[in-house]
């Protein structure tokens, strides 16, 4: 059943199956700045699959011995997706672990590790880039192309909270 959310661009011009597998929904968080290369905070760029941000934060906490409150993220990312996001870990006075120990095939991959002077805070990233795969598309081709052009030009609403992430999302 289609949710009755407000629609920015009117009636949907067709139907499609979305998110039939995690690879159908990819989110790439972009900070908008580069970690400075020095400082007490380890900056981890992690890719996760079928795992929510808080579960991965807990894994980072367990590996590093750093309490969750001293680990920063810029935003929550979906569970049922492949997402790339940054974590900061306050490492003052602590030995740096081998971050590759976070890796698990098909689950978590360490993309980059750096250092920065400040903890990552909610909302500081510049943008999230989304890739969505639509399957079993049923729509008038011309109407769909017109709608896609409108989305490219104008963007989409930023739904957030329970209606977007769902319980445990």
Q: How far is the C-alpha of 49 from the C-alpha of 103, rounded, in Å?
A: 11
Q: State the burial class of residue 126 (Cβ atoms within 10 Å of its Cβ: 0-12, 13-18, 19+).
A: exposed
User: Catalytic residue numbers?
Assistant: 78
User: Token pair 């579960």 is at which residue?
Assistant: 55
Residue 73: enclosing H or E segment and its boundaries?
strand 71-73
Q: Do 32 and 75 contact (CB within 8 A), yes or no?
A: no
């Amino acid at each position: 059943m289609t949710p009755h959310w407000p629609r920015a661009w009117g009636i949907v011009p067709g139907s499609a199956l979305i998110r039939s597998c995690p690879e159908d929904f990819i989110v790439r968080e972009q900070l908008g700045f580069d970690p400075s290369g020095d400082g007490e905070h380890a900056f981890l760029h992690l890719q996760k699959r079928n795992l929510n941000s808080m579960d991965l934060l807990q894994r980072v906490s367990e590996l590093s011995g750093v309490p969750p409150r001293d680990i920063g993220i810029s935003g929550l990312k979906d569970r049922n997706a492949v997402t790339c996001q940054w974590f900061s870990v306050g490492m003052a006075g602590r030995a740096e672990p081998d971050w590759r120990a976070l890796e698990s095939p098909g689950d978590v991959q360490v993309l980059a590790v750096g250092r920065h002077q400040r903890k990552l805070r909610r909302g500081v990233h510049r943008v999230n880039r989304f890739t969505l795969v639509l399957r079993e598309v049923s729509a008038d081709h011309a109407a769909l192309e017109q709608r896609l052009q409108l989305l490219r030009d104008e963007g989409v609403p930023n739904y957030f909270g329970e209606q977007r992430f769902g319980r445990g999302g």
